[in-house]
Amino acid sequence: MQSLQEKASAWSGVDQADAFAIDEFNLFEKLGLQSFINLSTNFYTRVYDDEEEWFRSMFANSKKEDAIQNQYEFFVQRMGGPPLYSQRKGHPALIGRHRPFPVTHEAAERWLQHMQNAIDESVDIDQDSKVKMMNFFRHTAFFLVAGNELKNQNQNQNQNNQVACKHAANKPAEEE
Binding footprint of its own copies on the chain (CB under 8 A): 3-5, 8, 16-17, 19-20, 23, 82-83, 86-97, 99, 139-140, 143, 147, 150-151, 154-155, 157-158, 161-162, 164-166, 168-169, 171-173, 176
State how far the Cα of 164 lies from the Cα of 168, in Å rounded to an integer. 6
In three-state form (DSSP H/G/I as H, E/B as E, the rest C), the secondary structure along 105-143 is HHHHHHHHHHHHHHHHHCCCCCHHHHHHHHHHHHHHHHH
What is the closest distance, in whole angstroms, from the C-beta atom of residue 120 to its own copies in the complex? 25
Nearer to its own copies, 83 or 109 (CB): 83
* Least Cβ distance, residue 83 to its own copies (angstroms): 5
Q: What is the dihedral of CA 115, 120, 124, 128, to 10 degrees?
A: 90
Is the CB of 60 or the CB of 96 nearer to its own copies?
96
| 33 CB burial (10 A radius; 0-12, 13-18, 19+) | middle
Nearest distance, CB of residue 140 and its own copies, angstroms: 7
CA 27 from centre of chain: 20
Question: Measured from the CB atom, is 100 or 123 closer to its own copies?
Answer: 100
Closest approach, Cβ 79 to its own copies, in A, equals 11
Which residue, 50 or 149, has its beta carbon nearer to its own copies? 149
Q: Which is nearer to its own copies, 4 or 59 (CB)?
A: 4
Calculate the dihedral angle through the C-alpha atoms of 79, 85, 87, 89, rounding to the nearest 10 degrees.
-150
Question: In angstroms, what is the minimal distance from the CB of 91 to its own copies?
Answer: 5
